[in-house]
Chain A
Amino acid sequence: MSLLKDFELVEKFQQGDETSFNELVKRYQEKIYWIARRIAADHDAADDIAQEVFIKAYSALKDFRGDSAVYTWLYRVTVNLSLNYVRRKKARNFFRIDDFFTLESDGNDSPDKIFEAKEHNQLLNEAIQQLPEKQKAAFILRYQEELTYEEISDILKTSVGGLKANYFHAVKKIGEYVNRAHKTRSI
């Protein structure tokens, strides 16, 4: 069976075919999870957000008119829910980078090297979490999800020029944060 396009799956779902919805979920669950995970920096939150995105999609896709691509809509909802989560967390002054994930290793690294890599990775993640909302969203969608500026522009409703600026400033701020952290820790 040839792979159906997103809009074809939506059409079939609108006609009552539940398996088409399942297919869409399988197609996008990992992407949605990782966008949420990178913005929220928390596995449980990312899981909740991903579930909520598809619960919303289950209702919304029945009326989906196809003005934009399905994934654009899914990613936009994901980014918005994730940023809302971060705002609520900030308001409660609670923030953590969880240890749920594991770093891929070739298996030959020494424990010290693994620890060092993990610490550096954590520092970069912290730096990403410190970014202002727009820069963070642009950075994650561009750098980590490797979407084009045009796709990100559709998702975030921002101009391509503005996104390029956000992306550049995000990378610059990550570098500054890491440098500051190294200086502080070496004192």
Chain B
Amino acid sequence: MSIVRTKHVPFELVDYLEGSVDAAARRRITEHLDTCKRCREEMETIASTVSELKAMPEETVPQTYFAGFLPRLHESLQKKREKKPLWNPRAVYVTVPVLSFVVIFFLLLNVPILERKPNLHESIRPLIVDLSPDDIAEVMGSRLHGEVLNETENPAVYNTMMRKQYNAAKVVKDALEDKSMSLSLNENDYQGVIESLNDDQVDHIIVRLKERTIL
């Protein structure tokens, strides 16, 4: 029994049978086939198929088909141009991520952690700037009781409202006179004092108003 010393060649057999290998490869494959029964059997299995495939007649199409190919292609291209959408499909690659980013950004803005706290300073300052203590009392009362104060004809309700207005005014006045705020309230310069309030001082007034459930 001969010993096979070279690599098996099944995957080169079709090319070998077709004659499409170079001289060196042909020699190598032939030498291998002389000593390898397994590869010889493989070759015998496919040999008839290769010759049958070789004998397959050429398929043809009418020459007019290829002659008309290019004009039909240009018709198709023209139709495609006419159907072209107003937007460029490639723009999707840019617009979709950008729009998604914008939407996510605004959604995040509404998430509680990013949500902007309502600024009480903004609502308190207009109440106290440009107002005298009596004005403040009136405004605070209006804020608390709104239309009720204006429309009530019941003396008891009216008195309650007025007391609350007074309390509100007193809280603001006390806060402004608080020593910790390093302010000395001068009745004659009340306007200037209110205008010079910083945010901490306004905070202080807010706390006091809340303690008295006026805010």
Q: Give A residues with C-beta under 8 Å from B.
A: 22, 25-26, 29-30, 33-34, 37, 43, 47, 50-51, 54-55, 58, 100-105, 117, 120-121, 124, 143, 161, 164-165, 167-168, 171-172, 174-175, 178
Contact = CB atoms under 8 A, between A and B. Distances in A.
Contacts of A54: 73
B77 A55 contact: yes
Q: Is the interface of B mostly helix, strand, loop or mixed?
A: helix
Contacts, number: 79
B120 interface: no
Contacts of B49: 171-172, 174-175, 178
A175 B45 contact: yes
B113 interface: no
B46 A172 contact: yes
Contacts of A34: 59
Contacts of B66: 29-30, 33
27 contacts: A29-B66, A30-B66, A33-B66, A33-B69, A43-B61, A50-B69, A51-B73, A51-B76, A55-B73, A101-B60, A101-B61, A102-B60, A103-B57, A104-B57, A104-B58, A124-B56, A143-B53, A164-B12, A168-B10, A168-B13, A171-B14, A171-B46, A171-B53, A172-B46, A174-B49, A175-B52, A178-B49
Contacts of B53: 124, 143, 171, 174
A182 B14 CA distance: 22
Interface residues of B, number: 28
Given A37-B59, A168-B13, 15 more contacts: A22-B70, A29-B69, A33-B66, A33-B69, A51-B69, A101-B60, A103-B57, A103-B59, A104-B58, A121-B57, A143-B14, A165-B11, A167-B11, A168-B46, A175-B48
B116 interface: no
Interface of B: 10-15, 45-46, 48-50, 52-53, 56-61, 65-66, 69-70, 72-73, 76-77, 80
A34 B60 CA distance: 10
Nearest to B20: A146
A104 B60 contact: yes
A136 B57 CA distance: 19
A54 B66 CA distance: 14
